[in-house]
Structure 1
Amino acid sequence: MNSGQAVQHACDSVDIVKELKALMINHALPLWWREGWDASRGGFVERLDHQGNADYVAPRRIRVQARQIYSYAKAAQLGWYPEGRKIAMEGLEYLLAKAKGPDGQPGFVHLIDRNGSTINPLRDSYDHAFILLALATVYQLTGDASVQEEIRLLWEFLDSHLRSPHGGFIEGIPPALPRRQNPQMHLLEAMIATFDATGDAVFKSCASDLFRIFVAKLYDRQRQILGEYFEEDWLKIEPSVVEPGHQAEWVWLLKGFERITGCPTGEHRSQLLASALRYRDETGCLLDEGDAEGKVRKFTRRLWPQTEIAKAWIAQAEAGEQGAADQAIVALARLDKHYLQHSVRGGWYDQFDCDNQLLVESIPASSFYHVICAIAEANRVLS
């Protein structure tokens, strides 16, 4: 890269990151508080319609409540949205009141209605990963002792009720098959965040356990793919399904794991990223699903894999990989062009088919976590 190209790269980086940060501050964060919070009964809604109006009727997944708490706590932590502290605390109060053990059993239920009544009492490991992530982010923001206590109690539940004798964590209570890599991935994310927030070595130790599961069971080194579905003892279910978005997500998470432990992850990151990039369409966006041989199985493309490929390139840029920052900028621009230029500013398009036709009319709240995390990482590393 010559000096002129370097200057242009720096300008492009600042411009796209600045633009996306402004989108969060000026539009997304106000929108999802104004329309995405149920002011009369509490709690975050699952989605907005294509005009930006709240859907109050849709059942509420606990993972979405946790993701929105994370998003507002993160925004407050970054100084992007000072009101985020109050919003995150209100969201956490609602989550604890409505979803934590309403049936007298430990853990959080899976699904509630608008009134806060339980629809599904499943204790889902994926949900609990996001609850821990939310608690860690709020605690890092506030230092609130009661939040620290909730972290302790949640860890006790995870450790005593959801551990698997075969390593990692079971799918939930009641247990279910197939086992999936996805809950393990997000539990790793939560452990890294909770270690950052508390400094408690137990969370770094758990992150190390999950990394060992990744190396020994989840990652197929020979084919350089991440498996999605497994038998109870982590035996892979063939034919292997590949979700390129998850491969990209692990690139970013492995960089975080390396940061807190010093364990080298560069080889795994490079392999996962190269493998994920096989599954793209003419727009350059990641597609939703492929097979172990690099062939596409689903030609649809959702929003969230695009945030994860941007984060993967950002992680590689932070590690000093040549050209990674340029690729991150391209990925962020692609995310903006195809998904974030919604008629409702602060909203997003969720999924397109192979003909670039929109498949989901509504604006799902669950995507906010992906979007704000990608932009926060871009702001931290590329600006």
Structure 2
Amino acid sequence: MAEGQTAAAEDSVDIVAKLKLRMIDHALPLWSQQGWDPATGGFIDRLDQDGRADLLAPRRVLVQARQIYCFAKAAQMGWYPEGRAIALKGLDHLLTRAKAPDGRPGFVHVLAPDGAVLDPLRDTYDHAFVLLALASVYALDRDAQIRAEIDALLSFLDSHLRSPHGGFLEGLPASMPRRQNPHMHLFEAMIATFDATHEPVFQNRAGDFFALFVANLYDRQKRVLGEYFEEDWSRIEPVSVEPGHQAEWVWLLKGFERITGCPTGRPRGELLATMLRYRDEATGCLVDEGDAEGNIRKHTRRLWPQTEMAKAWIAQAEAGEAGAADEARMALARLERHYLRHPVAGGWYDQFDRDGASLVATIPASSFYHVLSAVAEAEQVLG
């Protein structure tokens, strides 16, 4: 066992409780205080390396939506009762500033700190996270107005972003290449919306993305998930493999199985086995990119693939796979050891090079969604 793996095994004892306390005592207070702009409203996109808000950074709509999800989820879990109010004020800001501010339907892509529109692109990836945010808040109170916002967003997706070749366009205006990533997060959002509403229509919508996965996104022969595609879903060669996305689909497929009863054990096992080919030898962490033959293309290591590796093992543990719970705890321990031991309590390192040097000086808010989701899944399944 490599030195990093041995350390992870040692650190994995009580790791779930340790990370839950980190969320409650440090991360949620940090991002509710430094992470919110009290002057103009809205969530901050990033903190500096000392934990101070970067008030001049543009505000990405996907970050606004992800932070709403985080605080709603924390409230739902009973971790942070204040989370409900924070999620609601975040959603009010998002709807007021980012929804059709130029008179055209849909949510814009980037706002200025004062709330002005910096980029009017209607990005499908963004809309997936807005739907996730709406579902998460709706799950708290089942508010009819929020339910109406869910329907309005779905109507916009169906009427403006559907592709004649299946799935959805990258955005308005449309661009190439097509990516699996927005579809993966729409799949996630549909599962979450079913959990919030218990309406069969969202099982069916999730089923559309499962069908797309089977027919186009997943290469069953090579057992890899493609990232980039032509308009007709033909793969762009050479195929890029992001092991973090391989892991993310394991978790999502388990969620789809949970809400539909459709068996997904085979592709989950295949995706997980492929994911494990792209690990850094010294740390056991996932690298950022490989090729379809199992070679590593980028030895850099982002934070988010480590959370998704943990969630993949958690999903397999939920399915009863022997040893998966221990693997999940070790993945969480690697996340804590390498990424969360930041001088700013509640902060994190976002990316390392192959030698372990940090490549990103700031603390990006976008990673909170990944960290909190992994810890919430761990508590629910591993205890």
TM-score normalised to structure 2 length: 0.96
Could you tell me how far 1:205 is from its partner in structure 2?
A: 0.9
1:1-383 equivalence runs, <5 A:
15-281=14-280, 282-383=282-383
Secondary structure at the counterpart of residue 118 of structure 2:
strand
CA deviation map 1:331-366 (0-9, x unaligned): 000000000111001000000001100000100000
Count of residues in Structure 1 that have an aligned counterpart in Structure 2: 374
Equivalent position of 1:3 in the other structure: none
Aligned equivalents of 1:12, 1:200: Cα separation in 2:
41
Aligned equivalents of 1:202, 1:305: Cα separation in 2:
31
2:314 partner amino acid: I
Aligned equivalents of 1:123, 1:191: Cα separation in 2:
19
Aligned equivalents of 2:169, 2:258: Cα separation in 1:
27
Aligned equivalents of 2:141, 2:22: Cα separation in 1:
25
Could you tell me how far 1:12 is from its partner in structure 2?
A: 7.8
Secondary structure at the counterpart of residue 167 of structure 2:
coil
Unaligned runs of 5+ in 1: 1-8
From the superposition, tell whether residues 219 and 267 of structure 1 become closer, same or farther in structure 2 (CA, over 3 Å): same
Please say which of residues 14-23 and 238-247 is displaced more in the overlay: 14-23
Aligned equivalents of 2:26, 2:51: Cα separation in 1:
12
Percent of aligned pairs with the same residue? 69
Aligned equivalents of 2:298, 2:358: Cα separation in 1:
15
Could you tell me how far 1:13 is from its partner in structure 2?
A: 6.5
Secondary structure at the counterpart of residue 366 of structure 1:
helix
2:353 partner amino acid: D
Could you tell me how far 1:14 is from its partner in structure 2?
A: 6.8
Equivalent position of 1:5 in the other structure: none
Structure 1 outlier segments of 4+, above 2 Å: 11-14
Could you tell me how far 1:200 is from its partner in structure 2?
A: 2.0
CA contact (8 A) 1:351 1:359 kept: yes
Secondary structure at the counterpart of residue 163 of structure 2:
coil
Q: Report the RMSD for the aligned CA atoms in angstroms.
A: 1.1
CA contact (8 A) 2:71 2:86 kept: yes
Aligned equivalents of 2:38, 2:133: Cα separation in 1:
21
Per chain length, whose mean CA-contact separation is higher, i.e. which structure has more relative contact order (CA < 8 Å, sep 6+)? 2
CA deviation map 1:200-229 (0-9, x unaligned): 222211110110110010000111000000
Aligned equivalents of 1:199, 1:157: Cα separation in 2:
22
CA contact (8 A) 2:300 2:351 kept: yes
Aligned equivalents of 2:202, 2:99: Cα separation in 1:
22
CA contact (8 A) 2:240 2:289 kept: yes
CA contact (8 A) 2:129 2:185 kept: yes
